[in-house]
Amino acid sequence: MTVSALTRPGERDRLINKVAEIDWLFCLTISLIAGAGAVMLFSIAGSSWEPWAAKHLGRYALCFGVMILLSLISLRVWFLLAYPIYAVGFLLLVAVDLVGHHALGAQRWLQAGPITIQPSEIMKIGLVLALARFYHGLSGKSAQLSWWLLVPAVLILAPVALVAKEPDLGTAILMLLTGAMVVVLAGLSWRLIAAGVLGLAAVVPAVIMFGLHGYQKQRLTTFMSPENDPSGSGYHILQSKIALGSGGLLGKGYGLGSQSQLNFLPEKQTDFIFATLAEEFGFVGCAFILVLYAAVIFMALRTSYLSHSHFGRLAAAGVTATFALYVLINGSMVMGLAPVVGVPMPLLSYGGTVMLTVMVGFGLVMAVRVHRYAEVTSGKGSLL
């Protein structure tokens, strides 16, 4: 094949047009959040790029490139790969249950030589894609209330059960809520939604009593009265509240957060980085970051609304729901309004696995935007 064949004007123009369709304001906003994360990681490491800030920026740059490449892939290809990605994720979760790698008291990873993967992260994307594909071919009446609802129920509950068994309560809750939100957005009857909420309220106490490990029960109850065990199970929440409160309106100043700099605040680079931000930049700094998060969610939902295909609408909305739940759960956890379940603040916290999952999801959202006028069918589609 000649060079000229690879660079035909029509193909170049088509690629340029697709790149131009990417929401670059969206890209700038998520980059600002990731940049703020690097700034905080630099601070809590004692004004040093190591061990967190430099890796955080490097990972984000790599993941940003992955997001741009994924945004160019046709929605027809995403549609065709939806069930295979879900199936691979589910089989890997089963493998974790059988031969998974143990670490930190949990069995959540698969290890092959130097490579370690966490299949639950693959399943977060696979679940959204599978539900979006299922509902794409379902009539509005069937989506409201019918026996077809057993299919999404199994699609959601099967991987949630495997993840909860690892145990990884935070990810299991995140997947359950994401799946439920996609089902609701697909057109579920409000009568069934009300019945489901009432049924869930009745079942939750029994699940807490008989279905959770002892330490998980302790996490769920400690956030209501952390003062009862200030040096034990309540330590994380109390230190986080101290950091939040001591920041005041404008914060103590960059690099001057005592709770994080003196290592009183646990997991300051991951789960509790938002508390570090509050201590150093106060209410104003937290409000600025939350506005950025709100802007990301709004732009992603707008992309979902603009899509001409039902698959695209539900896929973008599902990814947005996952992202919003990350922010909601972590923010509530840091403020002591929810149990500590190990859910990081997306793009702000240190960690490559969650960042990759979030950016792959955003690649799907941008693919929905770039191909928003495309009609998705089960037929074969081109890669771009």
Instruction: Please tell me the number of Cα atoms within 13 Å of 240 on its side-chain side.
Output: 28
Can you give the C-alpha Rg of the chain in angstroms? 22
Cβ count near 87 (within 10 Å): 12
What pLDDT sits at residue 49?
93
Of all residues in the chain, what percent are helix, strand and coil, respectively (each to 5)? 70, 5, 25
CA-CA distance, 134 to 186, in Å (whole number)?
10
Query: Whole-model pTM?
Result: 0.89
Mean pLDDT score of the chain: 86
What pLDDT sits at residue 170?
87
Q: Identify the DSSP state of 307.
A: -
Q: In Å, what is the CA distance from 175 to each residue of 110, 133, 196, 304, 322? A: 19, 17, 17, 19, 8
Residue 285 and residue 344 in contact, taking contact as beta carbons nearer than 8 Å: no
CA-CA distance, 14 to 7, in Å (whole number)?
11
Per-residue buried b or exposed e for 116-137, using 16+ beta carbons within 10 Å of the residue's own CB: ebbbbbbbbbbbbbbbbbbbbe
Apex 43 CA angle, 39 and 49, nearest 5: 75
Please list, in sequence order, all residues whose beta carbon lies within 8 angstroms of the beta carbon of residue 229, skipping any fewer than 6 positions away: 222, 235
Quick: pLDDT tens for 229-256: 777 777 888 888 888 888 889 999 998 8
Q: First and final CA of the chain: distance in angstroms?
A: 20
Task: Using pLDDT thresholds of 50, 70 and 90, give the confidence band for residue 64.
Answer: very high
Backbone phi, psi, residue 29, to 5°: -65, -45
Quick: pLDDT tens for 120-159: 999 999 999 999 999 998 776 667 666 778 899 999 999 9
pLDDT at 76 over 60: yes
- Give me the DSSP letters along 220-242: HHHTT-GGGSTTTTTHHHHHHHH
> What percentage of the chain carries pLDDT values higher than 90?
52
Apex 140 CA angle, 137 and 143, nearest 5: 80
CA-CA distance, 244 to 280, in Å (whole number)?
9
CA-CA distance, 242 to 265, in Å (whole number)?
9
Task: Using pLDDT thresholds of 50, 70 and 90, give the confidence band for residue 260.
Answer: confident
Quick: pLDDT tens for 305-323: 999 999 999 999 999 999 9
What pLDDT sits at residue 14?
79
Q: Once rounded to an integer, what is the mean pLDDT over residues 31-55?
A: 94
> What percentage of the chain carries pLDDT values higher than 70?
87
Cβ count near 75 (within 10 Å): 23
pLDDT at 382 over 50: no
Residue 260 and residue 274 in contact, taking contact as beta carbons nearer than 8 Å: no
What pLDDT sits at residue 348?
96
| Residue 113 or residue 129, greater confidence | 129
Q: In Å, what is the CA distance from 221 to each residue of 169, 230, 243? A: 14, 14, 21
Backbone phi, psi, residue 135, to 5°: -75, -20
What pLDDT sits at residue 380?
45
What pLDDT sits at residue 104?
60
Q: Starting at the edge strand that comes first in sequence, how are the strands of the sheet with 106-112 ordered? A: 101-103, 106-112, 115-117
| Residue 109 or residue 275, greater confidence | 275
Instruction: Please tell me the number of Cα atoms within 13 Å of 308 on its side-chain side.
Output: 10
Quick: pLDDT tens for 180-224: 999 999 888 787 778 777 877 777 777 767 766 666 666 666 767
Please list, in sequence order, all residues whose beta carbon lies within 8 angstroms of the beta carbon of residue 297, skipping any fewer than 6 positions away: 320, 323, 324, 327
pLDDT at 7 over 50: no
Cβ count near 186 (within 10 Å): 24
CA-CA distance, 165 to 150, in Å (whole number)?
22
